[in-house]
Structure 1
Amino acid sequence: MAGLSFEVCGSLAAISAQADGYQSVVAVDACGTFSLHKREAGLARLAILGVEVSDYATLMVEIMADNADPHANDVYAALDMPFATLMGQVAAGYGK
């Protein structure tokens, strides 16, 4: 889940989905916020309610499920994940 505001849009949708029997995960960095205090309160509330919080890149990699996937390099590149460059260098032998 994600939303314009983490503590309202993202969190309430996740709480509602969890109440309906779904496993909810909120991508905290894919949501905005009105203040640091609101974000901290939202994180505490989700923790108490058992709603998982993660980040968008981790969730996308989990969805991919396997780094051996032929699309793995494209996924990492699209996510602009710095270690994707490192992994490419190691695979090419630059890490030796």
Structure 2
Amino acid sequence: MGADRASLEVCAALPAIAATAAGYDAYVAVDASGTFSQAKREAGLLRMQQARVIVSDYATLMVEALADNAAPQSGALYAALDMPFAVLAGQVSAAYQA
């Protein structure tokens, strides 16, 4: 990881931990941040889990934010996700709405 990238154990973990300490629900998409070593990644994940930060991946968090897979917006979201099954789901949704 280069110096120009955010690190999971600092840039994602510390604000999320502060948010949970302030009484908020905090979510971190672990695949949105890199880190400098596997040890730092594991330590950051453990710290967040201990602080009750909700740790997931970006695609799951985006789908969860919909709260309803039957919503019209779900097809557009699935189509926008950079994952083969999600693109397929978006295409199927668009076909049924046409």
Give the gaps of 5 or more residues in structure 2.
none
Residue 51 of structure 2 corresponds to which residue in structure 1? Answer: 49
Paired-residue identity, %: 61
Residue 78 of structure 1 corresponds to which residue in structure 2? Answer: 80
Give the gaps of 5 or more residues in structure 1.
none
- Deviation string 1:1-43 (CA, Å, 9 cap, x unpaired) is xx81110010000011111110111111111211111001111
Residue 14 of structure 2 corresponds to which residue in structure 1? Answer: 12
| Cα RMSD, aligned residues only | 2.2
Structure 1 position 60 matched with structure 2 position 62: yes
C-alpha distance in structure 1 between counterparts of 2:88 and 2:28, whole Å? 28
TM-score relative to the length of structure 1: 0.80
Contact 2:80 2:87 in 1 (8 A): no
Q: How many Å apart are 1:60 and its aligned residue?
A: 0.6
Q: State the one-letter code of the partner of 1:6.
A: L
Following TM superposition, the consecutive aligned residue runs of length 4 or more in structure 1 with deviations greater than 6 angstroms are: none
Q: Secondary structure at the residue paired with 2:72?
A: coil
How many residues align? The count is 90
Q: Secondary structure at the residue paired with 2:10?
A: helix
